[in-house]
C-alpha cells in the first residue's frame, strides 16, 4: 500500500486534539512535503526522520512523499510528530504492518541516531486520548508522567527500532506503571511549628487555608513573612485524583512536571522582576504562566510594591474568575488559575517603620508613595491583611512549646473539617462563592449583620470588600463549627480587613475592641 495513517496529538491550551498523520507515497521527483499548517519545527522533521530511518537501517523510499497533518486548520508545533511521521513512511512502504498502527497513538522527537527524546505535554496528550481507548507510545523520558492517567495504557520506548519491534510483535514494549504518590500532600521539610510567635499571623494563615482566601503580610525584614507563606501548602488537604491530574497536566504542558511530586500542592514564588506574560502566560504558542502553574496551590509574591504595576494588574481578573484567557492575533487559549495569593511587603521603603529600634527615617510622603504602588482594585481583592511585627529576642531564642505553636498536621486536620462543611453547602470553598450564593451559604445573625453594616459605613468598604468580609466570617464560623455567623466571627473578619495607607491612618481598623477573638 502507498497510504498510511498514524494518530498523534497536538496541544492547544489545555486541550490535546487528535491529529491524523497521513503519509502518501507517489511517483514523481523524490522529496518530502509536509502540509497541514506545520510550524518550522514540524517542517524540519523531514530531515530528522530521513536520518533516523537510515541510521536504523530502514529503507527511505525514493519517491514523492506527502505528509498531511489533519485537521488542516489546527496549527502543529514541536518535534512530537517525528515518530508518527517516521512510522507512517515505514507503514506506507510496507516495512512495518500498518494494521498495528490502528491500536496505538504515538508522539516523540527523533534524534538523528534514531533515539527518542522527551516531548512536552505527554500527560495532557494521554489524558485527551484516554476516551478513545488506544495505547500511547511515548519516549521513555516522558512515559512516567503519562502513566499517571488512570485507565491509560502507556508504552515507553527508547528508540525507533524498539517501536518497530513492538509493532511487528517481535519484542513488546513494557507498559509503564504509575509512580506511587508520596506519603504526604504537603511540602517536605517545613512545618508551621518552625515559626516562632506570630500567633495572629498563624491564625490568619489557618483561616486562609480553610476558605481558600488571599492574604497580605506586612512587616519588617526577618519577621517571618516568607516562612509563613512557605508553610501554607502544609495546611492544605492533599489533592484529589482529579485535581492532581489537572495540576499535573498544566505542569506537563509547561514542560515542568516532576512525577515524584504527584499530588503535592503547587507552590510558586516568582521573582519580583517577572513580566506580565510570565505571570499570566502567553507567547506565540500560549503556555501557562505562574498563576496557572500555581493552580490548586499557592502563589507567593514577595516584595509586592517592588513589582511592576502592569504585572500585578494581570492578577485582578484571575483572582475573581479562577481562569486566565490568553488572546493573541492567531491563537487563543484558556488555562485554569484557581490559586491562593499570598503577598508580602515591607511597611516602608527601608522596611523598618514601627520597629522598636527606631531606625526608620522614611517620611510619610515616601511611605505613602511606596504603598501607593499597589493599586486599590488589587488591595480590594485581598481578603486578609495582617501585620507581622518583629519578634522580641526572647521569643526567637526560646524553644518552649508556646513559642513554637501547633504543628501543621494539627492545623490541617481542622482545615479539612472546615472545608468539608463548605463543600457540603454550595459545593465550593467560601472564597469562590458567587454573589448570588452568599445569601444561601452565609447565614448571619442580626447582631453580626449590624456590625458588618457599621464596618462598611465606617471604613468605606466597596461592595466587593463587603462580600469578601462576609466570606471570611463564614470561614471563621466553619472553623468553629457554627452554622450561623455570629458577632464574634464577624468582628474577627472585620479586624482582618485592614491596610495602612502610609499616612499614619489604618483603613479597616477593627470595629470591635481588642484583637481578633482567637488571639484576645
Closest CA to 22 of 81, 88, 75: 88
Q: Please give the residue that has the higher pLDDT: either 439 or 24.
A: 24
pLDDT tens readout for residues 76-89: 989 999 999 999 99
- Mean pLDDT on 490-512: 60
Q: How far apart are CA 477 and CA 404, in angstroms?
A: 26
- Identify the three-state secondary structure at position 448: helix
Q: What is the pLDDT of residue 517?
A: 36
Q: Which residue has the cell 470588600?
A: 465
- Identify the three-state secondary structure at position 421: helix
pLDDT tens readout for residues 298-335: 999 999 999 999 999 999 999 999 999 988 777 788 99
Q: What is the pLDDT of residue 416?
A: 96
pLDDT tens readout for residues 122-153: 999 999 999 998 999 999 999 989 999 998 99
361: Cβ contacts below 8 Å, ≥ 6 apart? 350
Q: How far apart are CA 121 and CA 135, in angstroms?
A: 16
Half-sphere exposure of 506 toward its Cβ, with a 13 Å CA cutoff? 14
Mean of all residue pLDDT scores within the chain: 89
Q: What is the pLDDT of residue 385?
A: 94
169: alpha, beta or left? (left if phi > 0; alpha if psi -120 to 50): left
Q: What is the pLDDT of residue 402?
A: 59
pLDDT tens readout for residues 382-420: 999 999 998 877 767 666 655 577 899 999 999 999 999
CA angle at residue 56 from 55 to 58, to 5 degrees?
105
- Mean pLDDT on 344-355: 90
Task: Enter the C-alpha cell of residue 68.
Answer: 498531511
Paired with 138 in beta bridges are 156
458: Cβ contacts below 8 Å, ≥ 6 apart? 511
Positive or negative, the Cα torsion across 274, 277, 279, 281? negative
Give the CA distances from residue 476 to residues 142, 230, 388, 489, in Å, rounded to whole numbers and listed in that order: 44, 22, 20, 6
- Mean pLDDT on 418-423: 94
**Which 8-state DSSP code applies to residue 426?**
T
Closest CA to 214 of 291, 275, 282: 291
Residue 73: other Cβ atoms inside 10 A:
7
How much is the pTM?
0.87
Q: How far apart are CA 389 and CA 263, in angstroms?
A: 34
**To 10 degrees, what angle do helices 463-480 and 199-211 make?**
100
Q: How far apart are CA 495 and CA 509, in angstroms?
A: 6
Residue 303: other Cβ atoms inside 10 A:
15
**Which 8-state DSSP code applies to residue 516?**
-
- Mean pLDDT on 439-467: 90
Q: What is the pLDDT of residue 510?
A: 36
Q: What is the pLDDT of residue 1?
A: 55
- Identify the H or E element spanning 281: strand 281-282
Q: How far apart are CA 139 and CA 13, in angstroms?
A: 22
Q: What is the pLDDT of residue 505?
A: 38
C-beta separation of 34 from 67 below 8 A? yes
Burial tier of 258 (Cβ tally within 10 Å: 0-12, 13-18, 19+): exposed
Paired with 155 in beta bridges are 137, 175
pLDDT tens readout for residues 69-123: 999 989 898 999 999 999 999 999 999 999 999 999 999 999 999 999 999 999 9
Q: What is the pLDDT of residue 261?
A: 83
- Does the pLDDT value for residue 351 go beyond 70? yes
Q: How far apart are CA 177 and CA 513, in angstroms?
A: 59
Q: What is the pLDDT of residue 273?
A: 94
Task: Enter the C-alpha cell of residue 150.
Answer: 488512570
- Does the pLDDT value for residue 501 go beyond 60? no
Q: How far apart are CA 209 and CA 422, in angstroms?
A: 13
Residue 47: other Cβ atoms inside 10 A:
11
C-beta separation of 183 from 238 below 8 A? no
Q: What is the pLDDT of residue 489?
A: 95
- Mean pLDDT on 153-181: 91
Closest CA to 123 of 267, 245, 6: 245
Q: What is the pLDDT of residue 418?
A: 96
Q: What is the pLDDT of residue 509?
A: 39
Q: How far apart are CA 199 and CA 493, in angstroms?
A: 16
At 258, is the pLDDT very low, low, confident or very high (cuts 50, 70, 90)?
A: confident
Task: Enter the C-alpha cell of residue 331.
Answer: 491563537
Q: What is the pLDDT of residue 198?
A: 87
pLDDT tens readout for residues 29-56: 899 999 999 999 999 999 999 999 999 9
Amino acid at each position: 500500500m502507498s497510504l498510511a495513517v498514524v494518530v498523534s496529538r497536538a496541544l492547544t491550551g489545555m486541550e490535546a486534539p487528535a491529529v491524523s498523520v497521513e503519509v502518501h507515497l507517489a511517483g514523481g521527483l523524490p522529496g518530502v512535503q509536509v502540509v497541514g499548517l506545520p510550524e518550522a519545527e514540524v517542517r524540519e522533521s523531514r530531515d530528522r526522520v530521513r536520518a533516523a530511518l537510515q541510521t536504523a537501517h530502514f529503507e527511505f523510499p525514493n519517491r514523492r512523499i506527502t505528509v498531511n497533518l489533519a485537521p488542516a486548520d489546527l496549527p502543529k508545533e514541536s518535534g512530537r510528530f517525528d515518530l508518527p511521521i517516521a512510522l507512517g513512511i515505514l507503514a506506507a512502504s510496507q516495512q512495518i504492518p500498518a494494521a498495528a498502527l490502528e491500536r496505538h497513538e504515538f508522539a516523540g522527537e527523533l534524534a538523528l541516531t534514531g533515539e527518542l527524546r522527551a516531548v512536552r505535554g505527554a500527560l495532557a496528550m494521554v489524558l485527551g486520548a484516554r476516551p478513545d481507548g488506544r495505547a500511547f507510545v511515548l519516549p521513555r523520558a516522558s512515559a512516567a508522567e503519562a502513566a499517571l492517567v488512570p485507565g491509560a495504557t502507556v508504552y515507553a520506548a527508547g528508540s525507533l527500532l524498539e517501536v518497530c519491534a513492538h509493532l511487528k510483535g517481535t519484542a513488546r514494549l513494557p507498559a509503564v506503571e504509575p509512580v506511587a504518590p508520596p506519603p504526604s500532600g504537603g511540602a517536605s521539610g517545613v512545618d508551621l511549628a518552625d515559626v516562632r510567635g506570630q500567633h495572629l499571623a498563624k491564625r490568619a494563615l489557618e483561616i486562609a487555608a480553610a476558605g481558600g482566601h488571599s492574604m497580605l503580610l506586612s512587616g519588617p525584614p526577618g519577621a517571618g513573612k516568607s516562612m509563613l507563606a512557605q508553610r501554607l501548602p502544609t495546611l492544605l488537604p492533599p489533592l484529589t485524583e482529579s485535581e492532581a491530574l489537572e495540576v499535573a497536566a498544566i505542569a506537563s504542558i509547561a514542560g515542568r512536571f516532576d512525577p515524584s511530586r504527584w499530588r503535592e500542592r503547587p507552590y510558586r514564588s516568582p521573582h519580583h522582576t517577572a513580566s506580565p506574560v510570565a505571570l499570566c502566560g502567553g507567547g506565540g504558542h500560549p503556555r501557562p504562566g505562574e498563576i496557572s502553574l500555581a493552580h490548586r496551590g499557592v502563589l507567593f509574591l514577595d516584595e509586592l510594591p517592588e513589582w511592576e504595576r502592569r504585572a500585578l494588574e494581570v492578577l485582578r481578573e484571575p483572582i475573581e474568575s479562577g481562569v486566565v484567557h490568553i488572546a493573541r492575533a492567531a491563537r487563543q487559549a484558556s488555562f485554569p488559575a484557581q490559586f491562593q495569593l499570598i503577598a508580602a511587603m515591607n511597611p516602608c521603603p527601608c522596611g523598618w517603620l514601627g520597629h522598636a529600634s527606631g531606625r526608620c527615617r522614611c517620611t510619610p510622603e515616601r511611605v505613602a508613595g511606596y504603598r501607593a504602588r499597589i493599586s486599590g482594585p488589587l488591595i480590594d481583592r485581598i481578603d486578609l491583611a495582617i501585620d507581622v511585627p518583629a519578634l522580641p529576642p526572647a521569643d526567637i531564642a526560646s524553644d518552649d512549646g508556646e513559642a513554637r505553636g501547633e504543628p501543621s498536621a494539627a492545623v490541617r486536620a481542622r482545615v479539612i473539617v472546615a472545608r468539608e462543611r463548605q463543600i457540603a453547602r454550595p459545593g465550593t470553598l467560601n472564597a469562590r462563592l458567587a454573589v448570588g450564593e452568599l445569601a444561601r451559604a452565609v447565614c448571619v445573625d442580626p447582631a453580626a449583620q449590624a456590625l458588618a453594616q457599621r464596618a462598611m459605613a465606617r471604613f468605606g468598604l466597596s461592595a466587593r470588600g463587603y462580600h469578601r468580609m462576609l466570606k471570611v466570617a463564614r470561614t471563621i464560623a466553619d472553623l468553629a463549627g457554627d452554622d450561623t455567623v455570629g458577632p464574634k466571627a464577624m468582628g474577627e473578619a472585620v479586624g482582618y480587613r485592614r491596610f495602612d495607607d502610609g499616612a499614619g491612618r489604618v483603613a479597616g481598623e477593627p470595629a470591635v475592641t481588642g484583637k481578633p477573638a482567637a488571639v484576645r
